[in-house]
Amino acid sequence: MKLSKFILICFVSGLVSGTCGLAQVQIHEPATPVRQMNYNAEHIAAAETAMWRAYYSKDRIAGKIRLGMLLTQLLQEQFELKQFEATPIAYLLSSSAMLFKQGKYDAALPPLKEAYTDIKKYTSLNFDPEKVAKADLKWWVARRSKPRKSPEVIGQDITHLYELIYGHSHQGFTDAGLLRAKAMQLRDVGQDKADWEKIEKLLVASWKAMQCGIENRQSINNKAR
């Protein structure tokens, strides 16, 4: 089904937080027409799974290059961004993810903030890129804490991020956060032998739950007009 391209911000938050372990405030009418996207949970989840695998590659440079290429391709195909729009965003996100992977948490924040700033230009959402980037990074760090936190706790942190971004609560966001956290736990427990098929299925379910939350937000916005 067709959804406004404000789903892009949700995708990025889910993707980046997933690869590092990438939803927003009041809806405003965009100054220019908002392009449409074909929301396909299976396609997005498959692409995201491939990106997670690139992120966890033992070859850091090759992994970063592949992560950036996959992200650029998906942003163009699924979200109809032009290459000159998608490439800088992909570079910033992959850079932030790889800096975080190296334990450089403070250094990971500026490119993440810049990516959210760029993304804001292509959505009909009004949000604070710095606050969202900090909230995103905060739970990335929490996921690495010792002792390891449960998927339920991490899921609540992800849900909080979605609610911060959209200024809206919905069960779909809660379910999406928990399912994503469970997918991450499977990766962490399995490491090099992670069951990627199960991980992808959880991500599919997460994206479908997210779709429910987004559609509910759209419905509220339409009724308010």
H/E stretch holding 38 reads: strand 36-38
Are residues 92 and 114 in contact, defined by beta-carbon separation less than 8 angstroms?
yes
Bridge partners, 9 (sequence order): none
Question: What is the C-alpha R_g of the chain?
Answer: 16
Bridge partners, 3 (sequence order): 37
Q: How far apart are CA 82 and CA 69, in angstroms?
A: 14
Write down the domain spans for the chain: 2-224
Local confidence pLDDT in tens for the 225 residues of the chain = 334 444 565 566 555 555 543 432 223 333 344 444 557 889 889 988 999 998 888 887 888 888 889 888 888 876 677 889 889 988 998 899 889 989 999 999 999 999 988 888 877 667 788 988 888 888 888 888 878 789 999 999 888 888 877 778 899 999 999 999 999 999 989 998 999 999 999 999 999 998 888 788 666 666 666
CA dihedral 46, 120, 6, 94 (to 10 degrees): 0
Q: How far apart are CA 116 and CA 99, in angstroms?
A: 17
Q: What is the pLDDT of residues 143-184, one digit of tens each?
A: 888 787 899 999 998 888 888 777 788 999 999 999 999 999
Q: Can you give the pLDDT at residue 109?
A: 95
- Predicted TM-score (pTM) of the model is 0.80
Are residues 174 and 221 in contact, defined by beta-carbon separation less than 8 angstroms?
no
Q: Can you give the pLDDT at residue 132?
A: 86
Q: Can you give the pLDDT at residue 6?
A: 46
Q: Can you give the pLDDT at residue 27?
A: 30
Question: Nearest-CA neighbor of 121 among 32, 16, 24, 221?
Answer: 32
Q: How far apart are CA 197 and CA 106, in angstroms?
A: 33
Question: Nearest-CA neighbor of 116 among 106, 101, 126, 107?
Answer: 126
